[in-house]
Amino acid sequence: MLRFITTGESHGRGLTGIIEGIPAGLSISSQYIDTQLRRRQSGYGRGGRMKIESDHAEILSGVRYGKTTGSPISLFIENKDWKNWQDLMAVEEVTADIKRVTRPRPGHADLAGLLKYGHDDIRNILERSSARETAMRVALGAVTRRFLEEFNIIIGSYVLSIGGKGFNPYEMKDIWHDPHKLLETFKKAEASEVRCPDDSLTLEIKRLIDQASEEGNTLGGVFEVFAINVPPGLGSHIQWDRRLNARLMHALCSIQAIKAAEIGAGTLAGISKGSEVMDEIFYDPERGYYRRTNFAGGIEGGISNGMPVIARLSMKPIPTLKRPLRSVDIASHEPVEASYERSDVCAVPAASVIAEAMLSLVIAQAFLEKFGGDSIEETRANYNSYLRMLERR
């Protein structure tokens, strides 16, 4: 059973994460995790916070001499900006006069969280609801990414559009079935400041972000995340909560500002004929069963079918605006402009990296449920035995 939890606030001392269920014997290092953290911090349109933080994951437990021990792995990421927030975010009561945040921002958890928990200071909500928390998700996802690499399962993503500029949402459908083309697209995206696999579109999107910044506005976008070499048989059709697509949607929609998620053809399937979006099945003695299309996104009946797992996510514009929207002060009930907290103009490229982490966590969890193993050697033996069984089918 693979499970994880995160804790920490945006301007607190730091973020802590614990992941349990990783088999013993997996090689892992802080340097490997930090590579993924750097990817999350990059991207055109990020705000001033990225100039302050240079995220580093400190491994506190669960790893000895560079290899996992089988016990829970705990990670810590320091918030370097905390030194400027020690009074505002103190654990113990302080004598200083602390100004409350009382102007909720439309689109944030501010007002809903305040009403739910009965606070009179929105900072108690916004600090935890902040996307800063996703730094730890990326760190924990890096651990599962390293685990999946042992079985040649590779995770990637690319941005389709930002602010309406870019590819049509379903323009990549012809590569969904092809691992080589997906990896090639991922490589191109990695070379782009906005993670778009097209040079001319990258320039257009950057200009759009600059324009939004000048206007005091923000931009959202659409991106795809994928996993290749996922074996058939992960997840199950027998209960609603064991379906891989449902678990994946749960994880991906938990990312801050994600408002829609699709698997494979997604809503395209709803406006197409059955003959247009079903993946015909073929057989070859060398390849076994295979498809020439992948409208199912690698999942049928809640079970992985051996094709690449493909998901598409839509991220709304970040609600924190330099030109604030209208709101109501919770103390006076008078109309006001919403509060402004330092923010990005566009974080779609970062969100695609976070989605990679969540996809990795879900796939690794389903993988270990099926193949088990207290050590990497045992998991690999179970997996190889399953592959040999598939060859006889």
Q: Between residues 328 and 93, which one has the greater pLDDT?
A: 328
Cα(3)–Cα(361) distance, integer angstroms: 9
Closest CA to 57 of 140, 170, 147: 140
Encode pLDDT of 173-231 as tens digits.
999 999 999 999 999 999 999 999 999 999 999 999 999 999 999 999 999 999 999 99
pLDDT value of position 340: 80
Residue 272 token pair: 């197409």
pLDDT value of position 128: 96
CB atoms within 10 A of CB 266: 18
Tell me the torsion sign for CA atoms 207, 212, 213, 219.
negative
Mean pLDDT over the full length of the chain: 95
Closest CA to 304 of 356, 244, 263, 355: 244
Average pLDDT in the 8-21 region? 97
Residue 316 token pair: 């709304």
**Unique residue bearing structure tokens 């991906």:** 252
Confidence of residue 323 (pLDDT cuts 50, 70, 90): confident
- Its domain, for residue 91, covers 3-391
b/e string for 153-186 if b means 16 or more Cβ within 10 A?
bbbbbbbbbbbebbbebbebbebbbbeeebbebb
Give the SS3 label for residue 144: helix
Encode pLDDT of 262-285 as tens digits.
999 999 999 999 999 999 999 998
Cα(308)–Cα(297) distance, integer angstroms: 7
pLDDT value of position 250: 97
pLDDT at 95 over 90: no
Distances (CA, A) of 39 to 9, 133, 200, 352: 21, 15, 22, 10
* CATH at 190: 3.60.150.10
Report the DSSP pairing between strands 67-68 and 221-228.
unpaired
Average pLDDT in the 14-23 region? 98
* Residue 68: partners with Cβ closer than 8 Å, 6 or more residues away: 22, 23, 24, 25, 26, 28, 62
The tally of CA atoms less than 13 A away on the side-chain side of residue 228 is: 15
Distances (CA, A) of 181 to 228, 367, 376, 378: 11, 24, 30, 32
> Contact 236/302 with Cβ under 8 angstroms?
yes
Residue 319 token pair: 């609600």
Cα(218)–Cα(340) distance, integer angstroms: 13
Nearest-Å Rg of the Cα atoms of the chain is 22
pLDDT value of position 47: 66
pLDDT value of position 94: 87
The number of domains in the chain is 1
b/e string for 34-57 if b means 16 or more Cβ within 10 A?
bebbebbbbbbbbbebbeebebbb
Percent of the chain with pLDDT over 90: 87
**What pairs with residue 310 in β-bridges?**
226
> Contact 4/357 with Cβ under 8 angstroms?
no
pLDDT at 16 over 70: yes
pLDDT at 49 over 70: no
Confidence of residue 50 (pLDDT cuts 50, 70, 90): low
Percent of the chain with pLDDT over 70: 98
pLDDT value of position 341: 73
Confidence of residue 257 (pLDDT cuts 50, 70, 90): very high
pLDDT at 48 over 80: no
Task: Write out the H or E segment, with its range, that includes residue 60.
Answer: strand 57-61
